[in-house]
Amino acid sequence: MRSRGGRATSARRLLLAALVTRPGHLSAEELAAEVQSRAPDVNLSTIYRNLEELERLRVVDRTHLGHGPATYHLASAAHGHLVCEKCGSMSEVPDQIFDGLAEQARERYGFVIHPNRFAVTGLCAGCQR
Amino acid sequence: MRSRGGRATSARRLLLAALVTRPGHLSAEELAAEVQSRAPDVNLSTIYRNLEELERLRVVDRTHLGHGPATYHLASAAHGHLVCEKCGSMSEVPDQIFDGLAEQARERYGFVIHPNRFAVTGLCAGCQR
DNA sequence: GTGCTTGCAAACGTTTTGCAGACTC
DNA sequence: GAGTCTGCAAAACGTTTGCAAGCAC
């Protein structure tokens, strides 16, 4: 798993371990906390640098969920995100929900969408007053 | 048009004028430049404060287009955004392209999407190598 | 030993905040 | 005159960078 000319450092192993053991959407800061619980002096910038490389290698996806920090998760988990603008809750939905949009975008604009890399915002069932 | 207990200040008038005369997606900084061309000492923080209020009043939509600053536009312009991850280009697309997604989200999750408030990321026609 | 990788500290760009004075109503 | 709004300066926030030392190979 250690990649294209890269080296197997402990910071990287721990970061991957964190991504595997805590599935879901974690910010760089949360991942850092997780890694630091085992290796206290791994620096935040190291986390960012490695996440950047892992993103380039398509091992993780980075998603901007609304206003806060970006979140990261393993690329294997194919799903989209519905984020409520009011209460901030997020639900993961299967990729198929994007099929119609994907088809239209491709046919009409030649655009290939990446459903796991963005958040669909709106109002969840509980927040529609 | 001056709203619920608010006051009609010149900074606000100029900000709305900028939003009307320059349709499209403007960052807070660009809007500030536009306003400042007529009233040089309007401060950036005033722009932010007023955009925040206008967003709360649903007069403008704020959209995060990838990594840079958020962009703002009048809420009336109903359209979605396709942003290319590689070259950064953005195209606006009619809301109908989201019809299928909107229906599925509503039926299966009770979630009402707001197509103008998020960006669909992927690869544009020119960047699919 | 070579050179990729790291910690640290400092910079970055965007946005938010505290405060005293200015303005609208 | 009361209370909202503003400019200014500084802080906050998430993220990126430069550098010298450290480590994997």
Structure token pair of residue A109: 């604009």
Return the pLDDT at A2: 60
Structure token pair of residue A47: 């986390």
Q: Which residues touch strand C (CB under 7 A)?
A: A 5-7, 9, 11-12, 39, 41-43, 45-46, 49-50, 67; B 2, 7-10, 27-29, 44-45, 48-49, 52, 68-70
Domain locations in chain A as residue ranges:
2-76, 79-128
Query: May I ask the CATH class of domain A79-128?
Result: alpha beta
Does domain B2-76 fall into CATH 1.20.58.340?
A: no
As averages over each run of 10 residues, the pLDDT of chain B (129 residues) reads: 72 92 87 93 95 91 85 82 84 90 93 90 85
Return the pLDDT at B3: 58
b/e per residue, B94-110, with b = 16+ CB within 10 A? eeebbebbbebbeeebe
Return the pLDDT at B48: 96
Q: Which of B68, B94, B66 lies closest to B80 in space, CA to CA?
A: B94
Q: Is residue A112 pLDDT above 60, yes or no?
A: yes
The model's pLDDT over A71-105, given as tens digits with 9 standing for 90+, comes to: 998 887 678 889 888 887 888 899 899 999 999 99
In the sheet that holds A60-64, the strands lie side by side as: A26-27, A70-74, A60-64
